[in-house]
Structure 1
Amino acid sequence: MIVIIDDDPVFGEILKRKLHEYFKDKNVEINVLRYFDEDFLNKNYGDIEMLFLDIELEKENGIDLASKYREKGHNKMEIIFISLHDNFVHDVWAAYPLTFVRKSRLDYDLERCINLIRRRTRRKNAKILVKNEMIKITDILYIKSQSNYVYYVLINGEKIRDRAKISTLEAALEEYNFMRCHLKYLINVAHIKDLKNDYVLLETERVSVSPSKYEAVMQAFAEYRFRRD
């Protein structure tokens, strides 16, 4: 589901029509709202993939609304801000939006936005072959090397042993937010919850970080959080 929140009903319908053109082969449901209806958003939270949110609503500020919504733990949906004015582009990032669409450059910005979403979707759905089974890459917390084997540790706690070189996996998974934090460990930066001097917390798992890798891990985590692709 895609939701558009804009107090200008004419623009809302224009954007809806353009989005239908991009997703016509997927029969996506698109809803247009005149105000930030939190009850509707909460009710449909699991189904909403994208939220196009006008910054200048009649009585509310879209950036503030989105920031407060994010603070409540609503981080699954992609937020795309829309506005008549270019000068807001530097103010929106506190709410962790995917990108910014200017009404004055709708076609150009919308195409860029859709391409961004498609790249993210490709990464999100990518899989890797592990012991004759296809595993979603996003489900992997980290990979540990031991002798001639590696252990894949998944979000659900499952551990899968396979014969492979961690250096080969490091090269293959680099574009999917994985990095080497230790001679024996390859971690999924997307799952970092905390970073200390000698370890990183991945969900509830602690993984050692080499002193020589600490700065690189910290930078990779910062870049991941603020990256827009």
Structure 2
Amino acid sequence: MNKLKVMILESDISDLYRLVNLVNSISELELVFATTRAEELLKEINTNKFDIAILDLSISNTYGFEVAEFLTINYPNVKIIFISSYIEFGIRAYKYYPEDYLVKPINVFRLNQTVKRIMSHAFNFYKSKKIVIKNKGLSKFIDIEDINYIEKKKDNTKIHLVNEEIIDSKESLNDLEIKLQSYGFFRIHQSYIVPVGRRQAMLR
């Protein structure tokens, strides 16, 4: 069975042990290296091949962003998963096109879904999916891959597609977040849902 090789940067030693146990419990993953120090991870990056970097972000330690910057420039094929106790880092984290942004305590189901999505792309068995959007009593099928981002404006939800079409819906962001979370979407702001891991334009 193909496995994805993982490196972890977690500033809190207790959280690091928990995360190591969590990664080891997922059969599709192989832990290559885990540390609390960014400089040790950067050294290891140049000597070990790996597929996923799990990077911690905290108020006192934002080295995860520095490592993400290094990876984005030098190892663009490495998939980044951010973890943090703070949802506020989400907007800044989006700059690095992460596969996910997980808020502590880590939801093992969510992590599993993210891993499966990465594997589906890595080993080429991704299948196109559609969701149903309801508006004004009608149902519209939309390809997941066509969604650029989703925003809330007053009482309306606007779904922006990659072809610049905008679809209005009365569905709440909470409902859409639940529908889309297993496809790699996460909420970076109370008014925005974005697809991670894809390089799409987004209004600031």
What is the TM-score of this pair, normalised by structure 1?
Answer: 0.49
Counterpart residue number, 1:124:
122
1:216 to 1:38, Cα distance in 2 relative to 1, 3 A = same
User: Percent identity at matched positions?
Assistant: 16
SS of corresponding position for 2:16: helix
1:29 to 1:70, Cα distance in 2 relative to 1, 3 A = same
1:56 to 1:78, Cα distance in 2 relative to 1, 3 A = same
Tell me how far 1:18 sits from its aligned partner. Answer: 1.3
Higher helix share: 1
After superposition, the C-alpha distances for 1:68-97 in whole angstroms (9 at most, x for unaligned) are 43123x112111111121221222011111
C-alpha contact 1:7 1:58 (8 A) present in aligned 2: no
1:9 to 1:78, Cα distance in 2 relative to 1, 3 A = same
Runs of 5+ consecutive residues of structure 1 not aligned to the other structure:
128-136, 138-172, 176-188, 190-214, 218-222
Counterpart residue number, 2:77:
76
After superposition, the C-alpha distances for 1:102-161 in whole angstroms (9 at most, x for unaligned) are 12x31x2x421321221332243237xxxxxxxxx9xxxxxxxxxxxxxxxxxxxxxxxx
CA distance in 2, matches of 1:27, 1:63: 23
Counterpart residue number, 1:33:
35
Tell me how far 1:11 sits from its aligned partner. Answer: 0.6
CA distance in 2, matches of 1:226, 1:111: 26
SS of corresponding position for 1:54: strand
Instruction: Spell out the pairing of 1:70-219 with structure 2 (5 A cutoff).
Output: 70-72=72-74, 74-103=75-104, 105-106=105-106, 108=107, 110-126=108-124, 216=163
C-alpha contact 2:11 2:61 (8 A) present in aligned 1: no
Tell me how far 1:61 sits from its aligned partner. Answer: 3.3
After superposition, the C-alpha distances for 1:152-202 in whole angstroms (9 at most, x for unaligned) are xxxxxxxxxxxxxxxxxxxxx856xxxxxxxxxxxxx9xxxxxxxxxxxxx
SS of corresponding position for 2:30: coil
Tell me how far 1:57 sits from its aligned partner. Answer: 7.9
Counterpart residue number, 2:140:
none
CA distance in 2, matches of 1:30, 1:43: 11
SS of corresponding position for 2:46: helix
Select 1:7's aligned residue among 5, 8, 11.
11
Structure with larger RCO (C-alpha < 8 A, sep 6+): 2
C-alpha contact 1:84 1:102 (8 A) present in aligned 2: yes
Matched, 1:63 2:37: no
Tell me how far 1:59 sits from its aligned partner. Answer: 5.2
Runs of 5+ consecutive residues of structure 2 not aligned to the other structure:
130-144, 146-161, 165-194
Matched, 1:21 2:25: yes
Counterpart residue number, 1:225:
199
Residue 16 of structure 1 aligns to which amino acid in structure 2? V
C-alpha contact 1:67 1:94 (8 A) present in aligned 2: no
**Number of residue pairs aligned between Structure 1 and Structure 2:** 135
CA distance in 1, matches of 2:56, 2:92: 13
Residue 80 of structure 2 aligns to which amino acid in structure 1? I
Counterpart residue number, 1:50:
52
CA distance in 2, matches of 1:66, 1:34: 15
C-alpha contact 2:58 2:86 (8 A) present in aligned 1: no
Counterpart residue number, 1:164:
none
